[in-house]
């Protein structure tokens, strides 16, 4: 889950690489580095920590004319985040950057060490450059050596390599980690592991497919598939909408993204709401033929939206729905039957565990659907069908608008299937659609609400832990609230089904235990209320979120009047997001780049 960039051309190579890395910093920020080859000489810079450190180190460096360069921002997998472990990694006369994991690196490293190679870093990546240079000794040319190297690697990778023997060439390989090349008609070539660094530089891009490798020069893009057969690049236009990727005056991307939810949820629904039916033109109606079960599979926040979906799909579509955590599913030899629609949910479309389960489902012959935010991502390219969530670029590591749009899509999907299966009447679907139309106004952040949460947050900075509790679909929302809080505040938080507290966790109740209670008026209110009363009786400190005033709570956050529990769901979602944000801000944390995390987890 690192970020990679590359450039061939006459412009300011250093700046292009650094600007590209800036766009990718959310993918990894333990350390960063660049290597530039100009006039047969390498310049290489690395720095630990955020990109500003690398900018500082390179401030006096500038290319004069034509150069090639590669850059990398790292999220450590093998080896600590030190300067030595930062990419690019050097051999005798070549540099490499890599995203992913080389699974057989230990074997390769041992063989290389036996033949006298000295390793400097603890990374798996360094074997690539040494293996390449070993192969160069017996190869006709550098490309042959590179192709042989790629064939010797097992695992997931996106690789860029430059070498002194080919001063105008960047070698690339892609297998399981994203990589693309962009062009602009100016004899320049740009590489990146996602398209944002290329916006503003390139008009069209080619997304490499798994197994692709080859080389790029100012004049040529040579791509070979996994069987070594040469293929044509497939260029598609690159969207130029970069405005969405800027902070717009907010303190953090996360904050901006919370405020954006109203707009992006409208986008999610745009053109998809009929009078009494949901219109997913992108779905072939036959997708659901012969389907008796839906299996939802995802990680993290996307898993929480999948769990929310399981309530909606069973309740409204009357279809059996099961849930899987991707990292568990892929190793537990699951039974997959062909009457199951396998649905993966992913903001990025690149999460390694989820992607792997999609591959498993395809291999087992299941129909597959991906709910995703990134068009052209690996999952979108692989699945039989796609529903895009249209949340726009999400930069905050803590997912907010991606979750909101995923659940919106699932609400619509449950109605779409309900129509196919006749499990809801046209009137019932129409009344859901009118609720959906109200949604954007319910997720608008008001100044009053934000101010209240800001003030309240100062009371929730300590204590020995948080329980977020809710029932039914408010249970996954509670899980999501707890995940949001823990990932950016570093406070311990758990989500729990409200009715389960008495089966053990209530033993923890005391004034230093904070309970965030979700009390929707329109779904099991009395039941949830009595669970909260049990905690209140044991002196837990309670913050209740509801549209009904609750006098047993220490703090109360009132949401606006809602006529349906799903509207309450989304109102409470915003409250939970803001609460996590404000607690974390008070604790002085970098909300957008929480420690130990990265935006897109492309390693298992
Ligand atoms: O891109 P994905 O939706 O597949 O990512 C899955 C998780 O890594 C992600 O949802 C993670 O849990 C969030 N960043 C948490 O806010």
Best of 193, 253, 302, 356 to mutate for ligand 1, by most ligand atoms within 8 A of CB? Answer: 302
Mean pLDDT of 136-153: 97
Residue 597 lies in a domain: no
Q: Does one domain contain both 39 and 153?
A: yes
- CA–centroid distance, residue 400 to ligand 1 (Å): 10
pLDDT value of residue 353? 95
The range of the structural domain enclosing residue 85 comes to: 3-246
- State the closest ligand 1 atom to the C-alpha of 303, by its place in the atom list counted from 1: 10
CA atoms within 13 A on the CB side of 427: 0
CB 389 less than 6 A from any atom of ligand 1? no
Write out pLDDT tens, residues 474-488: 999 999 999 999 999
Looking at the DSSP assignment, which residues form a beta bridge with residue 369? 343, 385
pLDDT value of residue 28? 55
CB 302 less than 6 A from any atom of ligand 1? yes
CB 301 less than 6 A from any atom of ligand 1? yes
CB 406 less than 6 A from any atom of ligand 1? no
Of 211 and 598, the structure prediction assigns the larger pLDDT to 211
- State the closest ligand 1 atom to the C-alpha of 400, by its place in the atom list counted from 1: 16
Global confidence as pTM: 0.72
State percent of the chain over pLDDT 90: 74
Q: Does one domain contain both 258 and 342?
A: yes
Catalytic option among 2, 297, 372, 543: 2
Write out pLDDT tens, residues 291-309: 999 999 999 999 999 999 9
pLDDT value of residue 453? 96
Of 507 and 461, the structure prediction assigns the larger pLDDT to 461
Mean pLDDT of 221-235: 96
Q: Which are the contacts of 141, defined by CB distance < 8 A and separation ≥ 6?
A: none
CB 346 less than 6 A from any atom of ligand 1? yes
Q: Does one domain contain both 523 and 504?
A: yes
Q: Which of 188, 217, 246 is the last residue of a domain?
A: 246
In this structure, which residue's CA is closest to atom 11 in ligand 1? 300
Rounded CA separation 516/493 (Å): 10
| Structure token pair of residue 398 | 């803590």
Residue 383 lies in a domain: yes
Best of 301, 345, 595, 603 to mutate for ligand 1, by most ligand atoms within 8 A of CB? Answer: 301
**Domain harbouring 233, CATH code:** 3.60.20.10
Which range has the worst mean pLDDT, 41-45, 330-334, 490-494? 330-334
DSSP 252: S
- CA–centroid distance, residue 35 to ligand 1 (Å): 31
Task: Give 114-123 contacts, CB < 8 A, sequence gap 24+.
Answer: 120/84, 120/89, 120/90, 121/79, 121/84, 121/85, 121/89, 122/78, 122/79, 122/80, 122/84, 122/85, 123/78, 123/79, 123/85, 123/87, 123/89
- State the closest ligand 1 atom to the C-alpha of 599, by its place in the atom list counted from 1: 14
Closest CA to 299 of 349, 362, 346: 346
Residue 602 lies in a domain: no
CB 398 less than 6 A from any atom of ligand 1? yes
- State the closest ligand 1 atom to the C-alpha of 301, by its place in the atom list counted from 1: 10
Q: How far is CA 138 from CA 133, 134, 144, 150, 421, in A?
A: 9, 8, 9, 15, 64
Catalytic residue status for 543: no
CB 351 less than 6 A from any atom of ligand 1? yes
Q: Does one domain contain both 453 and 435?
A: no
Best of 178, 343, 351, 400 to mutate for ligand 1, by most ligand atoms within 8 A of CB? Answer: 351
CB 601 less than 6 A from any atom of ligand 1? yes
The b-or-e profile of 218-240 (16+ CB within 10 A means b, else e) is eeebbbbeeeeeeeebebeebee
Catalytic option among 174, 189, 529, 599: 599
CB 299 less than 6 A from any atom of ligand 1? yes
Q: Which are the contacts of 522, defined by CB distance < 8 A and separation ≥ 6?
A: 562, 563, 564, 565, 568
pLDDT-derived band at 509, boundaries 50, 70, 90? confident
42 C-beta neighbours (distance < 10 Å), count: 17
Best of 75, 306, 347 to mutate for ligand 1, by most ligand atoms within 8 A of CB? Answer: 347
Which range has the worst mean pLDDT, 81-85, 90-94, 179-183, 337-341? 81-85
420: burial class by Cβ within 10 Å (0-12, 13-18, 19+)? middle
Domain count, the chain: 3
Contact between residue 581 and residue 254 where contact means Cβ atoms under 8 Å apart: yes
Residue 600 lies in a domain: no
pLDDT-derived band at 245, boundaries 50, 70, 90? very low
pLDDT value of residue 248? 60
pLDDT value of residue 267? 83
Q: Does one domain contain both 275 and 242?
A: no
Residue 593 lies in a domain: no
pLDDT value of residue 79? 66
Longest dimension (CA), the chain: 80
Q: Which of 405, 439, 473 is the last residue of a domain?
A: 439
In this structure, which residue's CA is closest to atom 4 in ligand 1? 346
- CA–centroid distance, residue 325 to ligand 1 (Å): 12
- CA–centroid distance, residue 112 to ligand 1 (Å): 37
- State the closest ligand 1 atom to the C-alpha of 402, by its place in the atom list counted from 1: 3
Helices (H), 515-597: 525-537, 565-586
pLDDT value of residue 598? 75
CB 354 less than 6 A from any atom of ligand 1? yes
Residue 594 lies in a domain: no
pLDDT value of residue 240? 72
| Structure token pair of residue 294 | 């839906």
CB 300 less than 6 A from any atom of ligand 1? yes
The answer on pLDDT for 184 being more than 60 is yes
Mean pLDDT of 140-162: 95
Q: Does one domain contain both 241 and 259?
A: no
Packing angle of the helix pair 565-586, 447-457 (nearest 10 deg) = 50
- CA–centroid distance, residue 181 to ligand 1 (Å): 25
Q: Does one domain contain both 157 and 24?
A: yes
Rounded CA separation 382/377 (Å): 9
**Domain harbouring 317, CATH code:** 3.40.50.10490
- CA–centroid distance, residue 597 to ligand 1 (Å): 10
Mean pLDDT of 402-421: 97
Closest CA to 32 of 81, 77, 67: 81
603 C-beta neighbours (distance < 10 Å), count: 20
Q: Does one domain contain both 422 and 535?
A: no
In this structure, which residue's CA is closest to atom 7 in ligand 1? 300
Residue 601 lies in a domain: no
Rounded CA separation 451/80 (Å): 40
- CA–centroid distance, residue 250 to ligand 1 (Å): 22
Best of 399, 485, 493, 599 to mutate for ligand 1, by most ligand atoms within 8 A of CB? Answer: 399
pLDDT value of residue 77? 58
The answer on pLDDT for 468 being more than 50 is yes
Mean pLDDT (the chain, rounded): 92
Contact between residue 244 and residue 267 where contact means Cβ atoms under 8 Å apart: no
In this structure, which residue's CA is closest to atom 9 in ligand 1? 300
- CA–centroid distance, residue 474 to ligand 1 (Å): 19
Q: Does one domain contain both 514 and 423?
A: no
Catalytic residue status for 297: no
Q: Does one domain contain both 490 and 395?
A: no
In this structure, which residue's CA is closest to atom 10 in ligand 1? 301
Residue 242, SS3 per DSSP? coil
CA angle, corner 536, sides to 530 and 541, nearest 5?
A: 135
Rounded CA separation 419/129 (Å): 56
Write out pLDDT tens, residues 530-563: 888 888 888 888 999 999 998 888 999 999 999 9
- CA–centroid distance, residue 253 to ligand 1 (Å): 16
- CA–centroid distance, residue 347 to ligand 1 (Å): 7
The answer on pLDDT for 507 being more than 50 is yes
Looking at the DSSP assignment, which residues form a beta bridge with residue 497? 470
Mean pLDDT of 142-159: 95
Rounded CA separation 180/214 (Å): 12
Residue 603 lies in a domain: no
Mean pLDDT of 123-139: 96
pLDDT value of residue 138? 94
Looking at the DSSP assignment, which residues form a beta bridge with residue 342? 295, 368
Q: Does one domain contain both 393 and 498?
A: no
Q: Which of 398, 422, 439 is the last residue of a domain?
A: 439
Mean pLDDT of 68-89: 84
Q: Does one domain contain both 349 and 432?
A: yes
């Amino acid at each position: 889950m690192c970020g990679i960039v590359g450039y061939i051309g006459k412009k300011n190579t250093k700046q292009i690489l650094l600007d590209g890395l800036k766009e990718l910093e959310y993918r990894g920020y333990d350390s960063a580095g660049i290597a530039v080859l100009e006039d047969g000489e390498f310049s290489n810079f690395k720095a630990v920590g955020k990109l500003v450190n690398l900018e500082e180190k390179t401030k006096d460096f500038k290319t004069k004319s034509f150069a090639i360069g590669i850059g990398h921002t790292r999220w450590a997998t093998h080896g600590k985040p030190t300067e030595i472990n930062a990419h690019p990694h050097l051999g005798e006369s070549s540099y490499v950057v890599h995203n992913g994991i080389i699974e057989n690196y230990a074997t390769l490293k041992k063989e290389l060490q036996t033949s006298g190679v000295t390793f400097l870093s603890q990374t798996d990546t360094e074997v690539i450059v040494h293996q390449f240079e070993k192969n160069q000794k017996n190869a006709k040319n550098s490309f042959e050596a590179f192709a042989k190297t790629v064939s010797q690697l097992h695992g997931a990778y996106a690789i860029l390599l430059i070498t002194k023997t080919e001063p105008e060439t960047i070698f690339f390989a892609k297998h399981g980690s994203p990589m693309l090349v962009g062009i602009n008609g100016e004899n320049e070539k740009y590489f990146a592991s996602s398209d944002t660094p290329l916006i503003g530089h390139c008009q069209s891009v080619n997304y490499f497919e798994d197994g692709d490798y080859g080389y790029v020069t100012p004049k040529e893009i040579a791509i070979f598939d996994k069987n070594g057969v040469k293929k044509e690049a497939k260029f598609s236009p690159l969207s130029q909408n970069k405005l969405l990727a800027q902070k717009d005056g907010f303190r953090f991307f996360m904050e901006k993204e919370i405020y954006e939810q109203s707009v992006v949820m409208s986008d999610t629904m745009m053109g998809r709401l009929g009078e009494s039916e949901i219109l997913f033109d992108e779905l072939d109606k036959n997708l659901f033929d012969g389907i008796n079960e839906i299996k939802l599979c995802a990680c993290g926040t996307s898993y929480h939206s999948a769990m929310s979906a399981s309530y909606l799909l069973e309740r409204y579509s009357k279809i059996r729905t099961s849930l899987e955590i991707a990292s568990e599913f892929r190793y537990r030899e699951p039974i997959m039957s062909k009457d199951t629609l396998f649905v993966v949910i992913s903001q990025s479309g690149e999460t390694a565990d989820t992607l792997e389960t999609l591959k498993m489902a395809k291999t087992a012959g299941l129909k597959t659907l991906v709910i995703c935010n990134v068009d052209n991502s690996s999952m979108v390219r692989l699945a039989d069908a796609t529903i895009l969530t249209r949340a726009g670029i999400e930069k905050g590591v803590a997912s907010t608008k991606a979750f909101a749009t995923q659940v919106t899509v699932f609400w619509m999907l449950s109605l779409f299937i309900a129509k196919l299966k006749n499990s809801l009447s046209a009137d019932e679907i129409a009344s859901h659609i009118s609720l959906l139309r109200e949604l954007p106004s319910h997720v608008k952040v008001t100044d009053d609400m934000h101010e209240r949460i800001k003030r309240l947050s100062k009371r929730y900075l300590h204590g020995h832990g948080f329980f977020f509790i809710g029932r039914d679909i408010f249970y996954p929302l509670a899980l999501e609230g707890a995940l949001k809080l823990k990932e950016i505040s570093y406070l311990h938080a758990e989500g729990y089904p409200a009715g389960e507290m008495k089966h053990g966790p209530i033993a923890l109740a005391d004034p230093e235990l904070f309970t965030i209670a979700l009390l929707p008026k329109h779904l099991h209110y009395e039941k949830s209320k009595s669970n909260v009363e049990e905690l209140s009786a044991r002196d837990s400190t309670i913050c209740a979120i509801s549209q009904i005033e609750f006098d047993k709570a220490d703090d109360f956050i009132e949401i606006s009047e809602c006529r349906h529990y799903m509207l309450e769901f989304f109102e409470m979602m915003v409250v939970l997001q803001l609460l996590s944000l404000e607690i974390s801000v008070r604790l002085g944390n970098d909300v957008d780049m929480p420690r130990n995390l990265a935006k897109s987890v492309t390693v298992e």
